[in-house]
Amino acid sequence: MRLGVVFPQTEIGNDPGAVRAYAQAVEALGYDYLLAYEHVVGAHPERLRDLGREPPYTHTSPFHEPFVLFGFLAAVTSRLELTTGVLILPQRQTVLAAKQAAEVDVLSRGRLRLGVGLGWNPVEYEALAQNFRNRGRRVEEQVALLRLLWTQELVDFEGRYHRVRGAGINPLPVRRPIPVWMGGSAEPALRRMARIADGWISQLAPTPEAGAVVERVRGYVREAGRDPATFGVEGRLHFGSASREAWREAVGLWRRLGGTHLAVNTMRCGLRTPDDHIAAVAAFREAVRDVL
């Protein structure tokens, strides 16, 4: 099982030295990957409440852009996998996203895992001139086109939402194709990822109840004619929610449930500085070292 950290987007600050120090510390501690959330813009909370949504993030929440961030981290780390968790793909131009992802994969020497999802914020879609209502239908076509662009020198593609004729990106990525994982928890999202994704980036905490959900998703993978052994499942553990012994139990349980990845999230735990986040992931790694 691979152990990762959630990049503390909203609390790390804007000092490049702190961002570098955090990533290098995570790598030195033996973590396998770093996962970053994405939001291009934030909305005023009243705007979202007018749409019937209580926002987890607003215009005051800072977010580093993942592709630019990963280009920087590719230069200051050597082993750490870089994962988007998740990139809101339908609000982005597909061919441009393919180009950016390929560039990160090249600069990191094959260390990108692209997690994609639909997002929840219609204000963000509006600001990026994309359709919020058909995002589920579009994402399937986007994933198919991404894989073609990453594996073929020239692409001819005619879909419902995209047309590419005699064109391709250069450079191509190191990994062809780049692994595409998907986020989401609604039934349509689970069935979609079982058909087309390489794995599931979930928000599941490592609990006995999570096992039933994981087995349901694996059932969907089988229904799609695929081997569940090749389909990754990532969970999420909140640093502030348990004791050191409970961390160990949770990691052991997630392994027994067949989870392939587990990311620890230190945001919203009252940590004040980047050094506090580094100390937290160091404490977690030491506590679970012998149960991985």
The total number of structural domains in the chain stands at: 1
Give the pairing type, strands 2-6 and 261-265.
Answer: parallel
Please answer whether residues 107 and 71 qualify as being in contact, where contact means their C-beta atoms are separated by less than 8 angstroms: yes
The per-residue pLDDT for range 182-237, each reduced to its tens digit, is: 999 999 999 999 999 999 999 999 999 999 999 999 999 999 999 999 999 999 99
Strands (E), 145-239: 155-158, 163-167, 180-183, 199-201, 232-238
Per-residue tokens: 1? 């099982």
The enclosing domain of 21 has a CATH number of 3.20.20.30
pTM: 0.96
At 58, give phi and psi (nearest 5°). -135, -170
Cα 269 to Cα 238: distance, rounded to the nearest angstrom: 8
Give me the domain span that covers residue 224: 2-291
The per-residue pLDDT for range 35-60, each reduced to its tens digit, is: 999 999 999 999 988 878 788 899 99
Give the chain's length. 292
